[in-house]
């Protein structure tokens, strides 16, 4: 314990101090802890969650808010996939493989456009329309292409490539901004009965404020309790997740 008196500590001294303190803390913890107390509580059935309140079922607003969050994550997925496809289009040198990539790209752009319109997410719809058209044009013309002139055709469509890339990047940026806006918004489910709602993951509950009176399904309750912090008496907020946690959702 002489390291305790030193002015500077090396790793060994620090480890020695931590080890000594840890051993003492463990002895203390053993003295104050009685696992039998816990077992008695389990035996008494007090481990079961009590529900003495009468919460109200989830409002339409709450249900819609969760649904919008789900859709926002899916939208970002779609934008990401589109971005990848656009990059893939101009890397394809094999004519056989170019056609399906182009077809996927065209249909993805179409889906993106529809979803953005449905979600009222501001994005450059004009470019998206043009690019989708350009992709469709290439698809239609693919029969006339061969390995030799493919490169020159793609070069001549340089403007198309640039537009496609811009659209894909813009779509991705819009999707991320849209998603961030929704998830940073606090959602209040105080006193609501969410026991019949399913949540794909904790990411969906980010920044949700809930109270003792809020009801959850057992699975959701586990997720919520582990990730919540108390913000007032009987009021809790689910902590934010890192954005990549939302990537577990499949489109």
Interface with another protein (CB under 8 A), residue from 120, 144, 196, 229: 229
126: contact with another protein by CB under 8 A: no
Q: How far is the CB of 29 from another protein (least distance, A)?
A: 4
Of 42 and 93, which has the nearer Cβ to another protein?
42
- The piece of 32-40, 64-72, 77-85, 119-127 that touches another protein (CB under 8 A) is 32-40
Interface with another protein (CB under 8 A), residue from 32, 54, 91, 120: 32
44: contact with another protein by CB under 8 A: yes
Of 126 and 229, which has the nearer Cβ to another protein?
229
Interface with another protein (CB under 8 A), residue from 61, 94, 222, 251: 222
248: contact with another protein by CB under 8 A: no
Count CB-CB contacts under 10 A for residue 217. Answer: 15
Contact 189, 214 (CB under 8 A): yes
Residue 204 tokens, joined: 């969906």
Interface with another protein (CB under 8 A), residue from 12, 22, 136, 140: 22
Instruction: Catalog residues that contact another protein under the rule CB under 8 A.
Output: 1-9, 11, 14, 17-18, 20-22, 24-26, 28-44, 46-50, 212, 218, 222, 225-230, 233-234, 236, 241-242, 245
């Amino acid at each position: 314990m002489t390291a305790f008196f030193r002015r500077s500590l090396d790793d060994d001294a620090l480890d020695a101090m931590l080890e000594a303190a840890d051993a003492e803390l463990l002895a203390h913890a053993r003295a104050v802890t009685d696992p039998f107390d816990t077992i008695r509580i389990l035996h008494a059935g007090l481990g079961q969650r009590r529900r003495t309140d009468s919460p109200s079922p989830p409002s339409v607003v709450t249900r819609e808010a969760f649904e919008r969050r789900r859709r926002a994550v899916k939208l970002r997925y779609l934008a990401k996939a589109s971005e990848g496809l656009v990059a893939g289009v101009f890397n394809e040198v094999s004519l056989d493989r170019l056609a399906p990539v182009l077809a996927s790209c065209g249909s993805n752009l179409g889906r993106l456009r529809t979803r953005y319109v449905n979600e009222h997410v501001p994005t450059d719809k004009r470019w998206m329309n043009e690019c989708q058209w350009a992709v469709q044009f290439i698809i239609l013309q693919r029969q006339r292409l061969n390995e030799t002139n493919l490169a020159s055709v793609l070069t001549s469509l340089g403007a198309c490539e640039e537009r496609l890339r811009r659209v894909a990047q813009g779509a991705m940026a819009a999707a991320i901004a849209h998603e961030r806006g929704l998830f940073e918004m606090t959602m209040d489910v105080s006193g609501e009965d969410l026991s019949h709602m399913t949540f794909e993951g904790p990411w969906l509950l980010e920044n949700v404020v809930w109270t003792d009176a809020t009801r959850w399904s057992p699975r959701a309750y586990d997720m919520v309790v582990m990730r919540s912090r108390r913000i007032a008496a009987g009021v809790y907020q689910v902590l934010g997740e890192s954005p990549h946690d939302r990537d577990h959702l499949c489109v």
